[in-house]
Amino acid sequence: MNTDRLEGAAKTLAGQAQEGFGNLANDDQHRAEGLARQAAGRVQEVYGEARDYAHHAGERVVRVVEQQPLTSLLAVGALGFVIGLLSARRF
């Protein structure tokens, strides 16, 4: 878990508290600020989750390449060939 996920969760909780205060005090401004803070916190949490996912995916790719270098090289070569065919202009 990275700091973005933790900070996002903290912002979400703070936003919930602020929204709750706004509800108790019947204060629309505090309620709106609380909702905005919750949204910002959730966005930061999702960003942190995406970073974690990308990091783990990169580690998996490295493991596969280390375990099967020839297969990986052939797969990348085939992918490059297909991309070349698809991007070639046909006159």
pLDDT over 70 (residue 91): no
* Residues 8/51, Cβ–Cβ less than 8 Å: no
Measure the CA–CA gap between 76 and 17, rounded to whole angstroms: 51
pLDDT at 84: 92
Closest by alpha carbon to 8, among 31, 39, 50? 39
* Residues 30/14, Cβ–Cβ less than 8 Å: no
- Reported as a single tens digit per residue, the pLDDT across 18-76 is 999 999 999 999 999 999 999 999 999 999 999 999 999 999 999 999 999 999 999 99
pLDDT at 88: 85
Measure the CA–CA gap between 27 and 47, rounded to whole angstroms: 31
pLDDT over 70 (residue 6): yes
pLDDT over 90 (residue 7): yes
pLDDT at 46: 96
pLDDT at 1: 75
* Residues 6/51, Cβ–Cβ less than 8 Å: no
Residue extents of the structural domains in the chain: 1-60, 64-90
Measure the CA–CA gap between 70 and 76, rounded to whole angstroms: 10
DSSP state, residue 2: -
